[in-house]
Structure 1
Amino acid sequence: MRPRPLLLALTASLLFTPLASALSEFGIEGMGVVSTRADEAHATLSSDGRRIIWASNREGGAGGWDLWQASLRENRWMDAQPLALNSAADEVDPFLSSDGRWLYFASNRKGGSSGFDLYRAAVDAEGGFGPAMPLPAPLNSRHDERSPALAGDGALLLASTRPGAAGGWDLWHARRDGDGFAAPAPLQGINSSADETDGSWIGDGRALVFARGGHTGGSRLWLSHCRHGRWATAEPLALSFNTGEGDTRGALVDASKPTELLVSGQARAPRAGGLDLYRMRTPASDGDNDCR
């Protein structure tokens, strides 16, 4: 029996997000351009929705994991290119500020404090990037720092292996202080004996989505709501391939469409390669915003 025309249209449309999220709970992002046979993770979008930046270990970069970007033309992502600021080391966890002025990311390049550090680069009027500059202490430390994410009020969320929290990778929060940041503090009620990374605020801080690593490898995305000034017990993010046996991470809200969330994972279908980028609805939250 021949497939029905509507089914064919829906299947084909999944190849060309960002329209895919309007059709289903999740759809693959940019098949063949953004999501490829390589591993892709942690996508961030500009507030006008015309640019996407993500981390990939595909060939053609400077080496290891690099940051790549693509442009939206005719409702499709096109012209994937590595960023000029990449190094022979790893560049991961990109995050574009909401005003479009800064790109934050993590790298273990030479010249940092130790291991992975947080960096930012200015975004110029033509969409290019200035030199990568490390964030000052106490944001960077002698330990590892990764996955920077900014709240609407400028507060910074990051993951770090520094002491003072639950151990391993934990999530920390640094409030805005003038042109910089105050000393980071661990997120109470979130961190555990496992590894917590890739934190991202939802709904102006009413909820938090983050990755928690399992003891057997891989990671899973979790969601916690702010209740009366405390983070409530986290529950797995409602996504079909977000299982204890899988590897799902890098959730970030689409700055141009706050009702949509991009995640990295391994669905059975549609699938391009290893870790792919997918879109889903941003979870709703009726929590308060007193946890920041």
Structure 2
Amino acid sequence: MLYIFFIFILANALSALDIRNINTQDNEFSPAFYPDGKCVIFSSNRLGKPDTNLYLACEGEPVKPLVNLNSPYHDESPRLSGDGKILVFASDRDGSKESIDSNHRIRVSFDIYISYKTKTGWTNPVPIPGEVNSFAHERSPALNYDGSVLYFNRWPFGNIKKAKLYKAVLQNGKYRSVTLLPSVVNSGFADVGLVPAFQGTTIQGFYFASRRPGGFGGWDIYYTKVQGDKWLPPVHLPKPVNSPQSEVYLSWHNGKLYLASNRKGGKGGYDLYAFLDPARAKKYTVIVQDKESKKPLSLKATIHSEFNGQKIQITKKSNTKGKFSLEVSEKLGQVMIEIQKEGYLPLFYK
């Protein structure tokens, strides 16, 4: 008979889920949640539009464009401050910085724009004040909880391979002191979309996407922390958060990760997916032994649970010592472990 030597509650149930049924056959990117989680702003080129615009999806309401924020050009990668009072996004609309290349063509760069929440909606966006916008592209902005620190990408016009991550600090109403982030996050392999994960009002870590070596393919998601002034080496997130395709434009809200991916099985192009946050999970070790001989057993275990009403099923394999490791998210429902091996009675554990 199989015998579970140690177990508490377990799962690495990071199953991908559609969010709010807002995915279409076109591209959806960069979900930014209101603090209460009832509404999300995202960017999309839906309805066959060549340009990307900003949209709002709220519980029980149809998706609608944010007319006073959008332009006839590209408006993308929206992000909210942690308190939900400030919105930043990137756009190449009229008013963005322009340059002329060696072939005398006008090049309009992406700049970062800012808008503020009022009782009646969002203010008309304006170029973010200070020293951030340049003749290069500034894209993928993000803010700390109160908007006093801005994180963003910058790369030369038309060359995302040279994308780097920066930050700027709000000083007397303008974002100044633009600083290149350390090489531990700026690998030189198109590191993009740095966003903070909050514990209350405090940043507990950062997520970003990178094409650095060691990923599964395309852009993958990484997690890092800052201790004092030191940025720690990023951790590559496991499957199914990352896939052989690209994962970008991540957002973090209430212990869940939301991102855009062009992985197989979506509705088309880039779709939005939700995952339990592996950085907020507890790790456990399970040891499977023969009850009589205490001999470790190498086998496959199936773990069943649910997340947001969706059934989750994953498989783990124990090693020659009968061990396998699992991570438990606080967001999971009841977890059941199913273990079967030829010559033994099946075991189910809740």
TM-score w.r.t. the length of structure 1 is 0.76
Of 37-46 and 219-228, the range deviating more from structure 2 = 219-228
The verdict on how the C-alpha distance between 1:129 and 1:60 changes in structure 2, with shifts beyond 3 A counting, is: farther
Where do residues 133-148 of structure 1 align in structure 2 (5 Å cutoff)?
133-148=126-141
CA gap of 1:90–1:213, structure 2 versus 1, over 3 A, is farther
CA contact (8 A) 1:249 1:263 kept: yes
Q: How many residues align?
A: 247
1:43 aligns with 2:24: no
Q: How does 1:75-86 map to 2 (within 5 A)?
A: 78-84=61-67, 85-86=69-70
Deviation at 1:151, TM superposition (A): 1.1
1:49, 1:72 within 8 Å by CA — same for their partners in 2?
no
SS at match of 1:28: coil
Give, in whole Å, the separation in 2 of the partners of 1:116 and 1:192: 22
CA distance in 2, matches of 1:139, 1:282: 31
Classify the secondary structure of the residue corresponding to 2:59.
Answer: strand
Deviation at 1:53, TM superposition (A): 0.6
In structure 2, the partner of 1:249 is 248
Which residue, out of 58, 68, 74, partners 2:46? 58
Any gaps of 5 or more consecutive residues in structure 2? 1-12, 99-108, 282-350
Structure 1 residues 100, 227: closer, same or farther in 2, change over 3 A?
A: closer
Aligned pairs for 1:165-204 within 5 A: 168-188=162-182, 189-203=184-198, 204=202
Asked if 2 retains the 8 angstrom alpha-carbon contact of 1:241 and 1:267, the reply is no
Query: Which residue in 2 is equivalent to 1:264?
Result: 260
- Displacement of 1:186 in angstroms is 0.9
Structure 1: distance between partners of 2:230 and 2:245: 29
Shift of 1:242: 1.4
- More moved, 190-199 vs 177-186: 177-186
CA RMSD of aligned residues (A): 2.6
Going from structure 1 to structure 2, the CA distance change for 1:123 and 1:60 (only over 3 Å counts) comes to farther
Matches within 5 A, 1:148-167: 148-153=141-146, 154-161=148-155
- Give the 3-state SS of the residue equivalent to 2:139 in structure 1: strand
| Offset at residue 111 of structure 1 (A) | 1.1
SS at match of 1:86: coil
Shift of 1:214: 6.2
* CA contact 2:196–2:203 (8 Å) conserved in 1: yes
Matches of 1:218 and 1:125, distance apart in 2: 41
On the 8 A contact 1:206/1:285 being kept in 2, the answer is no
Q: Could you tell which deviates more after superposition, 35-44 or 232-241?
A: 232-241
- Deviation of the 1:276 alpha carbon: 0.8
Q: Is the 8 A contact 1:45 1:52 kept in 2?
A: yes
Q: Percent identity?
A: 26
Change (3 A) 1:261 1:178: farther
1:155-196 deviation digits (Å, cap 9, x = unpaired): 11111126xxxx811110112324332221011021022111
- The superposition leaves residues 76-109 of structure 1 with CA deviations (integer Å, 9 ceiling, x where unpaired) of xx31111112122110010122333322100011
Structure 1 residues 137 and 79: alpha-carbon distance in aligned structure 2, compared to 1, 3 A threshold: same
Asked if the contact 2:81/2:145 (under 8 Å) is kept, the reply is: no
1:192 alignment partner, SS class: coil
Instruction: Note the C-alpha offset of 1:224.
Output: 1.8
User: Which TM-score applies when normalising by structure 2?
Assistant: 0.64
Answer yes or no: is 1:30 the counterpart of 2:20: yes
Relative to structure 1, is the Cα distance of residues 285 and 207 closer, same or farther in structure 2, using a 3 angstrom cutoff? Answer: farther
Structure 1 letter corresponding to 2:82 = S
Give, in angstroms, the shift of residue 220 of structure 1. 1.5
In structure 2, give the amino acid aligned to 1:226. Answer: V
| 3-state SS in 2 of match to 1:210 | strand
Shift of 1:279: 1.0
Match of 1:118 among 112, 118, 143: 112
- The residue number in structure 1 matching 2:4 is none
